[in-house]
Amino acid sequence: MMPDSKKRYLQTYIARVNRVIDYIEENIDKDLSLERLAEVAQFSPFYFHRIFSAMVGETLYGFIQRVRVEKAAAKLILNPTKSVTDIAFECGFSSAPVFARAFRETFNMSASDWRSGGHLGYGKNSEPKSKESQSVGNIRQDFEVKAHYNQGTVQQMWRIEMKNKEIQTNVEVKDMSEMHVAYIRHIGPYRGDHGLFDRLFNKLMAWAGPRGLLRFPETKVLTVYYDNPDITDESKLRTDACITVPEDTQAEGEIGKSTIPAGKYAIAHFEITPDQYQDAWNAVYGGWLPESGYQPEDGPCYELYLNNPKEHPQGKHVVDICVPVKPL
């Protein structure tokens, strides 16, 4: 077992690196110099570059470049009317040629080819898909989307049913308040690893409990996702297991603290089994979004957990999938 002093030192390093990753995520369109990021980490620039590479598994520049390119790749698909150049600048590239070169080096195609259908044949974590088998028309046939209004609030809502699968959901768009969260971060694969999330949340709860931070039902439990698993290599996927905490809560060690911004979110409500999470996300992005009149807004999406599955008669997970959106 690691001595307490060594464990404490390691947690301090993890906390400082996580602060930098958070800062990059929140300022991806700005000048992310080594000097500024080292200041955030409270290390000297010379040593911080080496520390980051050793702990994250890629250089600081490589990490920033990869996140920028992958964010641009997602924006190109989800914002079809926005110019490639505008997206490049939004993601922090200094010029269109710099972006074009970085994009081609990452995806082996131009940004225009990616947007016009090249992404359908690209898969970091799966066998390449043919454009024919994954055409938008074929994907859309898996869902039935019906819009209606809540008579009590005159709020538009959508009902989605996945054909050939017992999954259905109601979706509504509403304003969500800012949330302050304590998190424990995982970098790496997570699909199908249900034990991973149990371990992360058990560790987070063990920290929060003695500090009086577990105040259910006021305390919310959620998982925040920063990367698209169809674009980012699964070894580099960033995921935070979170609980909401008071704003003045002090983070420590590997427990970080961040803020989920207020804004307009699409909220899709599901009751699903553990192996249906991917289908639920597909229902939101492939079923609801194309017919909604909305497009994704910048910012992380998250799963908000509303029950203890062990207490559900069928062991189902009651969860809201929350995606920041703006009008198309």
Query: Among residues of the chain, what percentage have pLDDT more than 90?
Result: 54
In this structure, are 75 and 35 located in the same domain? no
HSE-up of residue 33 (Cα within 13 Å, Cβ side): 6
Under a CB-based contact definition with an 8 Å cutoff, are residues 281 and 288 in contact? no
Instruction: Please check whether residues 33 and 93 belong to one and the same domain.
Output: no
Residue 226 lies in a domain: yes
CATH of the domain at 107: 1.10.10.60
What mean pLDDT is predicted for residues 252-256?
92
Q: Going by C-beta distance under 8 Å and a sequence separation of 6 or more, which residues neighbour residue 39?
A: none
**What share of the chain in percent tops pLDDT 70?**
89
Residue 1 predicted with pLDDT over 60: no
Residues 48 and 90 in one domain: no
Q: In terms of domains, do 196 and 274 share one?
A: yes
Per-residue pLDDT reduced to its tens digit, 214-249: 999 999 999 999 988 878 889 999 999 999 999 999
Quick check: is 128 in a domain? no
Nearest alpha carbon to residue 63 among 175, 187, 156, 148 = 187
Q: Tell me: pLDDT of 124 over 70.
A: no
| 69-83: pLDDT as tens digits | 999 999 998 888 899
Confidence of residue 137 (pLDDT cuts 50, 70, 90): very low
- 224 shares its domain with 320: yes
Question: How much is the pTM?
Answer: 0.75
The yes-or-no verdict on residue 130 having pLDDT over 60 is no
Beta-bridge partner residues of 309: none
What are the residues facing 181 on neighbouring strands?
A: 244, 258
As a whole number of Å, the CA-based R_g of the chain is: 21
77, 210: one domain = no
Among residues 316, 288, 327, 307, which one has the least CA distance to residue 172? 288
pLDDT in tens, 21-31: 999 999 999 98
Tens of pLDDT, residue by residue over 3-23, are: 676 677 678 888 999 999 999
Residue 70, domain extent? 63-116
pLDDT of residue 223: 96
pLDDT of residue 53: 87
For residue 146, give both structure tokens.
């019906």
Q: What is the pLDDT of residue 323?
A: 92
Query: What integer pLDDT is reported at residue 250 of this predicted model?
Result: 93
Residues 181 and 110 in one domain: no
Cis peptide before 309 (omega within 30 of 0): no
Tokens of 111: 């940004």
209 and 294 both lie in a single domain: yes
The answer to whether residue 147 sits within a structural domain is: no
Under the phi-then-psi rule, with left for phi > 0, alpha for psi from -120 to 50, and beta for the rest, what region is 119?
A: alpha
Phi, psi of 112 (to 5 degrees): -65, -40
Instruction: Say yes or no: 203 and 310 in one domain.
Output: yes
**Residues 85, 53 share a domain:** no
How many domains, the chain? 3
Res 211: pLDDT: 95
User: For 280-303, what is each residue's pLDDT tens digit?
Assistant: 888 888 788 878 888 788 888 999
- Claim to verify: residue 53 and residue 67 sit in the same structural domain: no
Asked if 317 and 200 sit in the same domain, the reply is: yes
Taking the alpha carbons at both ends of the chain, their separation in whole angstroms is: 54
- Would 164 be classed as within a structural domain? no
Which candidate, 205, 196, 164, places its Cα nearest to that of 274? 196
Q: Is 83 left (phi over 0), alpha (psi -120 to 50) or beta?
A: beta
Q: Residue 306: its pLDDT value, please?
A: 95
CATH number, domain containing residue 181:
3.20.80.10
